[in-house]
Copies of this chain bind each other. A is one copy, B any other.
Amino acid sequence: MRPRNEATDQKPRSFIEAARRDQIVAAAIETLAELGYAKTSFARIAEHAGISAGLISYHFDNKSELFQQVVADINGLMDGWLTEHIGDAGSYREALQRLIEGFVVFCDTHRAQVLALGQLLAGVGGHENGELVRSQREQSVGQIEQMLREGQEHGEFRDFSPRFMAVTLLGSIEAIPAELFASPDTDVAAYAKELSMTYDLAVRRSRLSRMTRG
């Protein structure tokens, strides 16, 4: 009598069901951000949500399924945010710059989400829910990689391995939440500027190259 997983079963979820799932996911995010992966139990999540622990098992097949949903939700949120933020950039350099700054602002305005995501990616990382996590990460890397590659093809970026640079940039970005946690008074706007400038310097074609190439 439990509602089936949406992915495997096409029966649509009822409204109330969807609302509860959202509420539980939100509570899970809070809990992960607050207590860390190791101490995030159904009991704690239920406390945060003001419901019983059993209800979580009712709405999710698994702890694993819950965490997958958390990751998916946060990723969706982030994707939406970035798409909106990047908008119609006039160049790849500008797009990259907006991407980076958008990420930083996202980290600032969605601290709980980013902390929670970090807990899940690492705490469970590459092992328990390995496939999900890896695929999510591959997706993030892939998107950045794609942008970088196109920028190279348009002659805006120098020659580097797009995958390498995507991984490197993603690493720099993922370090932000911890830094904001460690130094809460960080000037986020300045941080964003510095990061985008740093990567602009790292990827742009030098003036010399530009001249040479044409």
Q: How far is the CA of A164 from the CA of B52 in the complex (A)?
A: 43
Closest chain-B Cβ to A15's Cβ sits at a distance in Å of: 18
Which residues of A from 83 to 111 have beta carbons under 8 Å from B? none
User: Which partner residue on chain B sits nearest A174 by CB separation?
Assistant: B171
Q: Per-residue 0/1 for A106-137: is the Cβ within 8 Å of any B Cβ (1 yes, 0 no)?
A: 00000000010011011111111000001001
Report yes or no: B160 in contact with A198, Cβ–Cβ below 8 A. Answer: yes
Q: How far is the CA of A138 from the CA of B90 in the complex (A)?
A: 39
Which residues of chain B are within 8 angstroms of A163 by Cβ–Cβ distance? 183
* A interface majority secondary structure: helix
Interface size band for A:
35 or more
Report yes or no: A202 in contact with B198, Cβ–Cβ below 8 A. Answer: yes
Assuming the A-B contacts A1-B47, A171-B171, are A36 and B164 also in contact, with contact meaning beta carbons closer than 8 angstroms in the complex?
no
Supply 29 A–B pairs (Cβ within 8 Å), ascending by A.
Answer: A1-B52, A1-B53, A34-B127, A36-B123, A36-B124, A36-B126, A36-B127, A36-B128, A37-B37, A37-B122, A38-B123, A121-B122, A122-B122, A122-B123, A134-B182, A137-B178, A138-B182, A160-B197, A161-B194, A163-B183, A164-B194, A165-B194, A165-B198, A167-B175, A168-B195, A170-B175, A171-B174, A172-B172, A198-B202
